[in-house]
Structure formats: C-alpha cells, structure tokens
C-alpha cells in the first residue's frame, strides 16, 4: 500500500514544524505504537507494567523525533507510513527489551511467572543455548542472525557492517533460521 495523501500531508507538516503537527502525528499513530509494544512484548512472553509500557511507547516516539525527525526524513514513501512506523517501532522496542533483559536497564521486564533471581539465571542459560546454536552456523550466517535477532539491527545496518548486499540479508536469515530449526534440540 502506498503512502496516502493524508499521511503525506501529515508528514510534510511534521517535517516543516507546522503548529500542532506533532500532536496530530501522535494522535494518529499512538494506537499503532501501543499495539506494537504489546505485540513485541507478548510474543517474547514479557509481562509489562504500565510504567514499562509507557516508557517503551515514549522511547518509540523519541526515536522518531531524534535528530530533527531523521527517521521520518529517511522515509521514501514506498509503503504506507503505518507500515514504516511499525517496523521502526518494532526495532526500537526489541532493542530496548534486549537492553532490559541483558541487565542494561531496570529488571522489572521479566518473562511471565519468573522471579527476578530465577529470571537472571534463565536468561544466562537461554543465552548460552542461543550462543551454542549460533556456533553451529557458518560465520556469516551466525553473525547476521546475531545482529538481526539479538542486536536488533536493520537489514541496512547489517549490510553496512558485513558487506552483504542489503537484498541478500533476508534470504540469508531465512536459510539460517531453517538451519537453526534443524539443529535445535526438541523440547
């Protein structure tokens, strides 16, 4: 779906600093960001407090306005603005959750039913299992999987760091995931 005229005007208003443009932007996309935060946390079995949810939502909107709306200025209009913002929101939320679960942020973002001390031990065990699985992949495969899934990097960032063409990152990830499924121990 292409960029709608309404969203194009809203985007132009934000980038030009028009009065109430940011408030209109937030009103339009707040529901989408809330949904992404809930979906990303839920898909990783992370129970969010209201404060954590609000912090993650604020982090997404902060990422959008940083550096004079750099994220919005990079938008090429080849998709709907909602689709673009979904991807941006997912990356921000994943990055923040990874930081929280790795001990770089408050530890109240814990998987459902796991006490804080048990959670830390489980995260270490899970991380060791992931690292062991990644060691069984070829160098580029492991590096790309680690960058995308554990570090929250975009295809563009991975391409820049590895020299792999950006349009080859997705297929490489797909093949690596298939390999991981084949070698992962069954529960």
Please tell me whether residues 93 and 121 are part of one structural domain: no
Please say whether the beta carbons of 136 and 129 come within 8 A. no
The model's pTM is 0.57
Q: Does residue 143 share a domain with residue 108?
A: no
The count of domains in the chain is 2
The single residue listed with the structure tokens 């005229």 is: 5
DSSP three-state, residue 19: coil
Looking at the fold, whether 91 and 15 belong to one and the same domain comes out as: yes
So what's the pLDDT on residue 160? 92
Question: What is the extent of the structural domain holding 88?
Answer: 1-112
Q: DSSP for 122-140? A: HHHHHHHHHHHHHHTS-HH
Distance (Å, whole) CA 175 – CA 141: 8
> Do 141 and 102 share a domain, yes or no?
no
Report mean pLDDT in 10-residue bins for the chain, 187 residues. 88 95 96 93 84 94 94 89 92 86 50 41 50 75 80 83 88 80 62
Whether 107 and 119 map to the same domain: the answer is no
Q: Please check whether residues 167 and 103 belong to one and the same domain.
A: no
Closest CA to 154 of 94, 96, 91, 98: 91
């Amino acid at each position: 779906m292409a960029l709608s005229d309404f969203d194009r005007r809203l985007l132009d208003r934000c980038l030009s600093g028009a009065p109430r443009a940011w408030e209109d932007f937030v009103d339009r996309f707040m529901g989408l960001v809330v949904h992404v935060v809930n979906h990303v946390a839920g898909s990783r079995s992370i129970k969010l407090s209201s404060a954590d949810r609000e912090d993650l939502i604020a982090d997404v909107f902060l990422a959008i306005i940083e550096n004079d709306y750099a994220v919005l200025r990079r938008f090429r209009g080849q998709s709907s603005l909602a689709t673009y913002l979904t991807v941006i929101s997912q990356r921000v939320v994943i990055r923040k959750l990874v930081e929280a679960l790795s001990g770089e942020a408050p530890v109240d973002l814990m998987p459902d039913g796991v006490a804080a001390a048990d959670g830390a031990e489980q995260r270490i065990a899970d991380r060791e299992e992931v690292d062991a699985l990644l060691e069984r992949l070829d160098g580029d495969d492991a590096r790309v999987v680690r960058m995308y899934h554990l570090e929250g990097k975009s295809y563009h960032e991975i391409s820049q760091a590895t020299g792999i063409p950006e349009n080859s990152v997705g297929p490489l990830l797909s093949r690596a995931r298939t390999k991981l499924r084949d070698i992962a121990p069954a529960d």
